[in-house]
Structure 1
């Protein structure tokens, strides 16, 4: 993958988009998971956030609703087959605004029975993966990177909320979680 030539985190010209590469299994590697999503492109990663242990692999997306510190572990990686991941951070105010506008269309869902967790692991659907791929492709278009990236990031958030309306409950106005996050992000 051309965006991950060396081990560690590689930031891109798209605000909030970065790639990860790990060549060696690391035990209890401290990490901060920002508000956004992380996607395994190759391999598997385990994260401990508080007392919760989450394992995600290719085809899965981890949504994190706030900056959370924890520990990560890549159990199976090597120089020949490194762990490769993509992280996309979102702006809290933009996500919160989007969640509020979607509240009406999602009001009939059974959100009351869904636990209000600050993170959620789910399988990626084809349309979401296509959107992520288009976002990465904008890195090839120097003059259009920022305007296209903002549109595609909005689309990605919309697709996540549409497919997983329970996440809207994390960020919509009036919920206890929203109030805490609003204080956190200012």
Structure 2
């Protein structure tokens, strides 16, 4: 066990050096390897909302918390987080300082590759169990971390990257499929599974969150009864379909107000609200502040990060 932990420490420190080299004074970096993002923070952050994409999240220095409704996941270099669906969540950096910043990376999942790998697994391991939460924490292994390190090293090897990137990604996904978190991915990529049906409905919701709809319509899209659909949707996302839609609306409204400097009334209209007062009430309940105060706070945080860099 000690050797296992020591190996993780060594590989994590090597990855941390690579991330620091590439990120420099910025906080987030979308690398030249598709789907690979680097993250750095010099101090603990407040808890904030986000949409966690289907991905593997790995911490190599510091600690991070992700929360899905009433479920929270605290992880460091000895645990990784798998998200199998687009999920409204809360995120917070718990441990970071200037001398030892938080460092981590996220690799987006490729469901086409996962489906191909699932077909190559032994028959008795292919069948997924009933879908569980779309987010879960697994134990990091030296083999998984080493594959991630080899992928990251390709950022400095332009000649090899086009050939080796898809091969190493496939190895990473294979190791996750065979880990204690593999069942989450199998339930999403297995043809005909409840998880795959819920995932397809979520894709539709992401593209149409500003529209009005009935839960019966979503259940029909999933080819499930209303009660079965509602049960599996809540089990996988920790919220009802209507709560999920509302979360997407409010987070998009915040993005519009902060990123595009649109006022609250127009942002409300853009995301499908007819009543500005209802929008303000639900926004305040969701983010803990009125739209105006929340946007001001977001700008203070952004300005603080710019000054720190």
Q: What TM-score do you get using the length of structure 2 for normalisation?
A: 0.54
Alpha-carbon distance between aligned partners in 2 of 1:149 and 1:51, rounded to the nearest angstrom: 37
Task: Tell me the CA shift for residue 180 of structure 1.
Answer: 1.7
More strand by share: 1
Task: Flag the structure with larger Rg.
Answer: 2
**What SS is found at the alignment partner of 1:148?**
helix
Mind listing any 5+ residue stretches in structure 1 that lack a counterpart? none
Displacement after TM superposition at 1:17 (Å): 0.6
Q: 1:50, CA displacement in angstroms?
A: 2.5
Please report how far the alpha carbon of residue 183 of structure 1 lies from its aligned counterpart in structure 2 after TM superposition: 4.1
The aligned residue for residue 150 of structure 2 is: 134
Q: Determine if contact 2:55/2:84 at 8 Å carries over to the other structure.
A: yes
Q: SS of 2:145's equivalent?
A: helix
Alignment match of 2:175 (pick from 141, 159, 162): 159
What is the CA–CA distance in structure 2 between the aligned matches of 1:115 and 1:180, rounded to whole Å? 10
Task: Report the equivalent of 2:30.
Answer: 11
Q: 1:70 aligns with which of 79, 89, 110?
A: 89
Matched, 1:26 2:26: no
- Give SS of 2:94's match: coil
1:180 aligned onto 2:198: yes
Task: Point out the structure with the larger helix share.
Answer: 2
d(CA) in 2 for partners of 1:4 and 1:59? 22
Deviations 1:92-129 (A, max 9, x none): 23323433443625158xx64x7622122011111111
Aligned partner of 1:117 among 126, 133, 141: 133
Partner Cα distance (2:110, 2:167) in 1: 13
Runs of 5+ unmatched residues, structure 2: 1-19, 205-309
CA offsets, 1:127-160, max 9 Å, x none? Answer: 1111001101111111222331111111110111
Question: Does the CA contact (< 8 Å) of 1:45 and 1:56 recur in 2?
Answer: yes
What is the alpha-carbon distance in structure 2 between the residues aligned to residue 58 and residue 93 of structure 1? Answer: 28
**Deviation digits for residues 56-87 of structure 1, max 9, x if unmatched?**
11121101101222221112212211111110
CA distance in structure 2 between the partners assigned to 1:144 and 1:79 by the alignment: 34
Residue among 100, 113, 138 paired with 1:81? 100
User: Is 1:102 equivalent to 2:121 in the alignment?
Assistant: yes
